């Protein structure tokens, strides 16, 4: 097999195809194994070629072709022997039924298993658990739990029931727990390696930017252990133990890896161990790491300086209000800023031999002012109701604008000076990089793309419902996170392929389209024959099947 780029007549578009050569009567011919997509420009062509390489590699590793190859379907007019014709006639007679005798035994969803199941195998997750002959049940259980989490994320017990009720898959809860006990540290490391290699292959080894962030995952219990610990909760579950999950993705949102930390770990303390682990295990060379300002602590800054000697480039959000007073005065001088567009302007400074960018956004300034005013209005309402002024004093949020007045009356009031000082910082945001050669525009662009990691956490938390965690043993907790990470990897990879081979669809739209691909199992009560009757296929689902090299069932079929 090889990849062919073919220019379309009368247009600048170029088709990217996976093609196979074969011989007929000694002559070499070619057939399209899979049409990958149409490229509008050179950038899109590069993406589709890389995608075609990953599909081709998966086909070669499996030693199989798609269920059908374009242009290679057998002709209905081909000659058949008398025996074959007889068999075909007998087969056709089996479809002669009386509709009065037909009843529906059950209905099952097949789209998730067809599409995501194929992608699961293509990315090599079917080879995570070793010794296939002895662990066939666990290998099957892992795949089913991953697909169940994509389709209808629930507890393990709920997933087992859901698979049986809606997907016609029989699997015991005991088998699921046995599988989770086999997902030890070595198996989890293989999961991370598979995800990383899949991302590298899909991007043709051009992983040049990695985005980083951490979040908390809480448990439906109140007991702590060496992994589950109480700490600052981003979910507001301060009285429940949690773990901290650090996630790394590319600028396309494709997974690079993840690390799990004890629940009491401060977010900022997850950055350096995660970067060191990524660099050590995944052969990452010249990559720009991008993280939010929550990761910019003195300890991290010192550690990043050490990593700098190992050719690590980073872009992190900077806490500009904590910087030296003289530098702050320069930042607040808006005459130093040059306009990038109608909304954004930027000024460049040096801070500890690093390049410090401070951007000013007019839209962000209006939002900052509006948010502050809303907070102050809420404070005023509370002051009118409260009999205890001291209860209102705090350094948190907008309470920092309050102060005690009077020597004896202890009257509480707004500190107008603090409000005016805060207003000076409206619209300002700091970004720090150790690569002084990067342009202002490139640094801003990379940092702005941090929404990819935020969307990634939204997918894991809401679409895949990684939280709350119901397991108690640390090993089971790690296995639960690993299962969800595989599901996340599949969701991101399919979303990427659909975007570049068809059109941009959200993970939820893809999921719902595949859930609508269903089959009815019909029973002929007169002959006891069973038939599979497919439902009408949604347009999106049909396109997804094609780009995955799958041929959907469209007509009734004898079981």
Q: Which is it for strands 288-291 and 313-318: parallel, antiparallel or unpaired?
A: parallel
264 pLDDT band, cuts 50/70/90, is low
228 pLDDT band, cuts 50/70/90, is very low
Q: What is the pLDDT of residues 346-367, one digit of tens each?
A: 999 999 888 999 999 999 999 9
Spatial CB neighbours of 527, under 8 Å, sequence gap ≥ 6: 97, 101
* 252 vs 81: which has the higher pLDDT: 252
In the structure encoding, which two tokens stand for residue 169, read together?
């898959």
Residue 491 has pLDDT above 70, yes or no: yes
Alpha-carbon dihedral angle through residues 326, 327, 328, 331, given to the nearest 10 degrees: 130
Three-state secondary structure readout of 80-148: CCHHHHHHHHHHHHCCCCCHHHEEEEEEEECHHHHHHHHHHHHCCHHHCCCCCCCCHHHHHHHHHHHHH
- Of all helices (H) and strands (E), which one includes residue 162? helix 156-166
* 373 vs 66: which has the higher pLDDT: 373
Instruction: Give the other-Cβ count within 10 Å of 41's Cβ.
Output: 10
How confident is the model at residue 252, as a pLDDT?
A: 84
Largest Cα–Cα separation, the chain: 111
Predicted model pTM? 0.77
Residue 232 has pLDDT above 70, yes or no: no
Provide, rounded to the nearest whole percent, the portion of the chain with pLDDT above 70: 76
Poorest-confidence range of 79-93, 200-214, 258-272?
79-93
497 pLDDT band, cuts 50/70/90, is very high
DSSP string, 197-252: HHHHHHTTT---EEEEEEEEEEBSS----SS-B----TTS-TTS-EEEEEEEEETT
How confident is the model at residue 68, as a pLDDT?
A: 45
Q: What is the pLDDT of residues 400-456, one digit of tens each?
A: 666 656 555 566 677 788 888 999 999 999 999 988 888 999 999 988 888 777 777
How confident is the model at residue 407, as a pLDDT?
A: 57
Q: Of 121, 120, 176, whose CA–CA distance to 150 is shortest?
A: 120
Poorest-confidence range of 136-145, 205-214, 335-344, 402-411?
402-411
Residue 496 has pLDDT above 50, yes or no: yes
Poorest-confidence range of 7-16, 138-147, 221-230, 374-383?
221-230
* 299 vs 542: which has the higher pLDDT: 542
Residue 298 has pLDDT above 80, yes or no: no
Output the CA torsion sign for 311, 312, 317, 318.
negative
Domain 204-350+434-478, classified CATH 3.30.420, yes or no: yes
Length reported for the chain? 559
Spatial CB neighbours of 249, under 8 Å, sequence gap ≥ 6: 210, 211, 255, 256, 452, 453, 456, 492
- Of all helices (H) and strands (E), which one includes residue 274? helix 271-281
Q: What does pLDDT average to over the chain?
A: 81
- d(C-alpha 536, C-alpha 516), whole Å: 9
* 473 vs 5: which has the higher pLDDT: 5
186 pLDDT band, cuts 50/70/90, is very high
How confident is the model at residue 105, as a pLDDT?
A: 93
The predicted model gives 264-277 an average pLDDT of: 67
Q: Give whole-number Cα distances, 376 to 249, 362, 369, 397, 489, in Å.
A: 38, 21, 11, 10, 43
- Of all helices (H) and strands (E), which one includes residue 3? strand 2-7
Spatial CB neighbours of 417, under 8 Å, sequence gap ≥ 6: none
Poorest-confidence range of 99-113, 309-323, 332-346, 383-397?
383-397
How confident is the model at residue 531, as a pLDDT?
A: 92
The predicted model gives 490-508 an average pLDDT of: 92
Residue 465 has pLDDT above 80, yes or no: no
- d(C-alpha 399, C-alpha 389), whole Å: 11
Output the CA torsion sign for 186, 187, 192, 196.
positive
- d(C-alpha 61, C-alpha 51), whole Å: 15
- d(C-alpha 491, C-alpha 187), whole Å: 21
Residue 230 has pLDDT above 70, yes or no: no
* 412 vs 142: which has the higher pLDDT: 142
467 pLDDT band, cuts 50/70/90, is low
Output the CA torsion sign for 551, 554, 558, 559.
positive
71 pLDDT band, cuts 50/70/90, is very low
Domain residue spans in the chain?
A: 2-62, 204-350+434-478, 364-423
């Amino acid at each position: 097999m090889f990849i062919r780029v073919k220019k379309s007549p009368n247009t600048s578009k170029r088709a990217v195809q996976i093609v196979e050569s074969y011989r007929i009567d000694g002559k070499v011919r070619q057939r399209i194994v899979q049409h990958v997509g149409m490229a509008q420009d050179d950038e899109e062509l590069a993406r589709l070629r890389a995608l075609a390489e990953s599909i081709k590699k998966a086909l070669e590793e499996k030693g199989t072709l798609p269920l059908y190859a374009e242009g290679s379907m057998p002709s209905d007019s081909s000659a058949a022997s008398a025996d074959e014709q007889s068999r075909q006639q007998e087969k056709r007679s089996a479809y002669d039924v009386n509709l009065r005798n037909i009843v529906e035994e059950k209905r099952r969803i097949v789209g998730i298993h067809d599409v995501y199941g194929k992608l699961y195998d293509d990315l090599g997750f079917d080879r995570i658990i070793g010794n296939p002959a002895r662990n066939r049940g666990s290998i099957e259980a892992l795949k089913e739990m991953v697909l169940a989490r994509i389709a209808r994320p629930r507890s393990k017990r709920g997933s087992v029931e859901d698979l049986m009720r809606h997907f016609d898959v029989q699997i015991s809860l005991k088998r699921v727990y046995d599988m989770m006990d086999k997902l030890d540290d070595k198996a989890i490391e293989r999961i991370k390696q598979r995800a990383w290699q899949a991302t590298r292959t899909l991007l043709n080894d051009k992983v040049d930017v990695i985005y980083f962030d951490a979040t908390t995952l809480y448990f439906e219990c109140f007991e702590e252990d060496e992994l589950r610990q109480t700490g600052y909760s981003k979910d507001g579950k301060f009285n429940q133990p949690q773990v901290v999950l650090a996630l790394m993705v590319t600028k396309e949102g494709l997974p690079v890896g993840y690390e799990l930390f004890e629940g009491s770990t401060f977010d900022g303390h997850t950055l350096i161990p995660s970067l060191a682990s990524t660099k050590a295990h995944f052969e990452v060379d010249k990559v720009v790491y991008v993280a939010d300002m929550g990761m910019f602590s003195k300890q991290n800054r010192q550690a990043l300086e050490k990593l700098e000697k190992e050719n690590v480039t980073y872009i992190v959000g900077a806490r500009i209000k904590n910087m030296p007073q003289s530098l702050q005065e320069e930042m607040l001088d808006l005459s130093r800023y040059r306009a990038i567009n109608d909304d954004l302007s930027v000024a460049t400074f040096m801070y500890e031999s690093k390049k410090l960018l401070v951007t000013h956004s007019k839209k962000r300034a209006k939002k900052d002012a509006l948010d502050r005013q809303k907070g102050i209005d809420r404070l005023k309402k509370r002051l009118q109701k409260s009999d205890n002024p001291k209860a209102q004093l705090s350094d948190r949020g907008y309470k920092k604008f309050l102060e005690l007045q009077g020597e004896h009356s202890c009257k509480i009031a707004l500190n107008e000076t603090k409000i005016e000082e805060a207003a000076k910082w409206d619209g300002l945001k700091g970004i720090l990089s150790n690569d002084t050669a990067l342009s202002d525009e490139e640094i801003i662009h990379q940092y702005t793309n941090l929404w990819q990691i935020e969307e990634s956490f939204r997918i894991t938390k809401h679409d895949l419902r990684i939280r709350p965690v119901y397991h108690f043993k640390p090993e089971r907790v790690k296995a639960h996170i690993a299962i969800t990470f595989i599901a996340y990897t599949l969701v991101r990879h399919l979303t990427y392929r659909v975007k570049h081979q068809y059109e941009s669809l959200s993970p939820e739209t893809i999921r719902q389209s595949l859930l609508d691909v269903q089959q009815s199992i019909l029973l002929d009560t007169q002959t006891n024959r069973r038939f599979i009757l497919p439902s009408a296929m949604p347009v999106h689902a049909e396109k997804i099947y094609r780009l995955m090299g799958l041929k959907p069932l469209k007509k009734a079929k004898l079981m």
